[in-house]
Amino acid sequence: MMSQVPKIHLDRVSKTYPGSKIPAVDELTLDVHEGEILVLVGPSGCGKSTTLRLINRMIEPSAGRILLDGEDVTEVNPDKLRRRIGYVIQQIGLFPHQTIAQNIATVPGMLGWDKDRIRTQVDSLMTTVGLDPKQYRDRFPKELSGGQAQRVGVARALGADPDIMLMDEPFGAIDPITRDRLQNEFLRVQGELHKTIVFVTHDIDEAIKMGDRIAILGEGSKIRQIDTPERILAYPVDEFVDDFIGAGSTIKGLNFLQVGSLKKIDYPTITVSEPAETGVARLDEAHQEWLVLVDEAQSPLRWIRRDDLSGPTPRTGDIGEEIGELLRTDDTLFHALELMVESASGQTVVVDAHGAYAGVVDMTHLNRAIRRAQLEARLHYEELEANA
Ligand code: ADP
């Protein structure tokens, strides 16, 4: 159970734009926990950006309250509020006539930090987002690529070390390869900084990748499902969510399960120096056709069969079958599926963190793991419903 006060709490927040009859955000109640990335995802026009802009009061709510660390900030001076909150948008909005360093120093400058402190902070933030300060500090935004400019946007939002970051499609306008890299870098940075982040996207795959939790929103910012990506993939609560996730939810869910969680087939092993008859005995005992030949450190070398055990010891290299790419216990089941599809037998050998043989997995194991994840998610929702 989450006992602390949520970092951000929206309490029946609504926003109706002037001249509109339908609220863009309709009585939204939402908690964001300290240190998590909560992704708001939903179709275009459903109210994601409006929700984000309500949190730092770029726009004022028509009704409801917003609490940060349990404190009602609905009446706080919005300028003061925004210094606690970093904001990154797709169009970046760097000031074109200011250098990169000046852009990043915007909020520290507003806060009246002294020059040395600002310079140290700017250099450290540039390094954090992967830009060499010496090379880029004095450049202007137009001298940067899209990806570099977006890094500066992130660095600027981190300027005065805010504890909350709001990110509105931050990587939306960037080519897929750079985007993937920026997402990975950002997750690495977040792994060190542990900011509380609300991240808006219309792209479910980005949501799945970036979110500790995902809120799938419908019209009026209504929450249709809010949960971890793995549970949403394992158990979309209704057709709206299912449609929004689209095809392949089961396959995508495999990214959240690890090979270590599978029960494995325990094929017998034989080391290169053991007598062949030991291998025969082990095959008989295990009622198996195949053995895994391992070296002295228990690293798998070849698949071998009973017929390969005719000599005094199994010889390496020239008997049996290639073992193919090995799976590690910390690999995802998505990777496992890939290797199984590629391998002739559909079976894949698993090694532990030290490279030692740890068993064999096949499609049946994968299938069971998927079913187990789906069942657990369904039971979780049934329990929630029963307690409601
Ligand atoms: P999303 O970010 O999910 O695409 P928005 O929050 O931008 O959705 O918009 C939600 C709804 O509010 C839309 O119907 C949009 O047209 C409307 N809207 C957004 N901004 C304004 C504005 N400044 N004035 C009037 N209507 C707006």
CATH 3.10.580.10: does it fit domain 260-367? yes
- Report which ligand 1 atom has the smallest distance to the Cα of 217: 3
Among 88, 58, 56, CA closest to 155:
88
Looking at residue 317, what is its pLDDT?
54
Pocket test for ligand 1, best of 14, 17, 22 (most atoms within 8 A of CB): 17
Question: pLDDT band for position 208 (50/70/90)?
Answer: very high
> Is the minimum distance from the CB of 45 to ligand 1 under 6 angstroms?
yes
Listed as own residue / partner, the contacts of 245-248 with beta carbons closer than 8 Å and 24 or more positions apart are 245/204, 246/204
Looking at residue 129, what is its pLDDT?
84
Among 327, 274, 331, CA closest to 304:
274
Looking at residue 202, what is its pLDDT?
93
**Global pTM value:** 0.87
- Report which ligand 1 atom has the smallest distance to the Cα of 42: 3
Q: How far is CA 310 from the centre of its chain?
A: 51
Q: What is the pLDDT of residues 102-141, one digit of tens each?
A: 999 988 888 788 999 999 999 999 998 889 999 999 999 9
* Average pLDDT over all residues of the chain: 91
CB 211 within 8 A of CB 199: yes
Percentage of the residues of the chain whose pLDDT score is greater than 90 = 65
Q: What is the pLDDT of residues 13-30, one digit of tens each?
A: 999 999 999 999 999 999
Question: pLDDT band for position 3 (50/70/90)?
Answer: low
- Report which ligand 1 atom has the smallest distance to the Cα of 53: 6
Question: How remote is the CA of residue 50 from the centroid of ligand 1, in Å?
Answer: 6
- Report which ligand 1 atom has the smallest distance to the Cα of 50: 6
- Residue 332 is classified by DSSP as B
Q: Which CATH class is domain 8-246?
A: alpha beta
Q: What is the pLDDT of residues 232-276, one digit of tens each?
A: 999 999 999 999 999 888 999 999 999 999 999 999 999 988 888
Question: How remote is the CA of residue 159 from the centroid of ligand 1, in Å?
Answer: 28
CB 143 within 8 A of CB 131: no
pLDDT(6) > 80:
yes
- Do 260-367 and 8-246 have the same topology in CATH? no
CB 104 within 8 A of CB 126: yes
Q: Domain spans of the chain?
A: 8-246, 260-367
